[in-house]
Homo-oligomer: A and B are copies of this chain.
Amino acid sequence: MPAAEDDLKTEKAIAGESLTPFGSCPIPIFDHKRIVLGHGSGGKLTADLIDKIFLPAFRNPTLDKLDDQAVLTIGGARLAFSTDSFVVTPIFFPGGDIGRLAIHGTVNDLAMSGARPLYLSVAFILEEGLAVDDLRRVVESMRAAAAEAGVKLVTGDTKVVNRGKGDQIFITTTGIGVIEHDISISADRARAGDKIILSGYIGDHGMTIMSQREGLEFEGAIESDCAPLNGLVSAMLATASPANDFIHTLRDPTRGGVATTLNEIAKHANVGMVLDERTIPVRESVKGACEVLGLDPLYVANEGKLLALVVPEMAGAVLEQMRQHPFGQDAVIIGEVVENHPGMVLMKTEIGGTRVLDVMFGEQLPRIC
């Protein structure tokens, strides 16, 4: 896709216009001189920032894979290494808080390489004036979340910024996990034929945050799905299989949702995907909230769900394993990887049509995690 088209899209996305992926403009009429909220969305603008600023400077084979974690070999041990900053607002919400999110977010990024998460570091940036009781509550939640995930917090840092130069509390967690099997799980390993498994209902986390922020009340309470997925992944990897290499890719669809995550995989692996809309589980309450706010649940963040690309002959067995785990009981096959239209995700809609699911362009839901 030429740069000019990218720029047009970016501008349109910022203006809130709906876009088809086939729009085109020969002249670059828009260029970012300033960071906008969309640069943190996990969508197209974030990818731009990575492609144009970070990768050219930091380029190396590990980083170039653009997985959510680096896989390193040190002294014979295969390790996963991952970092995330959390800036969610509000800091407390139904189903979780910024502390729980910060622990499980990094635990999940490690788990998506098939690693067993072991150790976390925690760095706090506190705003002057933060209630110490709120900090205590966040820290207690982190303790409980770490215990639930079976990880240890072993080192940390605290900085304080002046009032009005932060927003209560930002948390950066970084984790180390150990990879104890020979399977190489990575976005670029997706292959035509793979079944796409989704571990459960989508959109819960994002719509919980949006509802809280907008002060909306919906029939049927919505709660964040924030949860540690390392146990589920470990159960999946334990599926009895004749061949070792049955899970090609694992990803947790956080910022940008299922649609953006699948697009990233399709582009990295240069494969197409076809989804069946009817199979994708969305709660009525989340559907309702999305309709009110004009959002598509496929682009809404999840914090306790995963997508797995599994060789077709093992998909049924992996699904069975998942359904026996509390965080996978609603797991379903939502589509498959195909050779056609590489880099593109198509969806068969409920009414029998086909639409292109593109990556999210701008900032649908700022500061969702």
Contact = CB atoms under 8 A, between A and B. Distances in A.
Interface residues on A, range: 35 or more
A212 interface: no
Interface string A334-355: 0000000000000000000000
A91 interface: no
Contact of A36 (B76, B128, B164): B128
Contact of A172 (B37, B54, B123): B123
A53 B132 contact: yes
Nearest to A179: B75
Interface stretch (A66-74, A201-209, A295-303, A315-323): A66-74
Interface string A151-191: 01111111111101111001010101010000000000000
A87 interface: yes
Contact of A135 (B53, B153, B156): B53
B34 A157 contact: no
Contacts of A142: 57-58
A153 B63 contact: yes
Contact of A156 (B36, B83, B146, B160): B83
Contact of A158 (B49, B57, B160): B49
A126 interface: yes
Most chain-B Cβ atoms within 10 A of its Cβ — which of A126, A132, A172? A172
A165 B166 contact: yes
A211 interface: no
Nearest to A34: B129
Interface string A1-43: 0000000000000000000000000000000111111111100
A269 interface: no
Contact of A140 (B50, B57, B160, B178): B57
B77 A159 contact: no
Contact of A131 (B34, B82, B152): B34
Contact of A366 (B122, B124, B162): B162
Contacts of A162: 37, 167, 366-367
A224 to B, nearest CB: 18
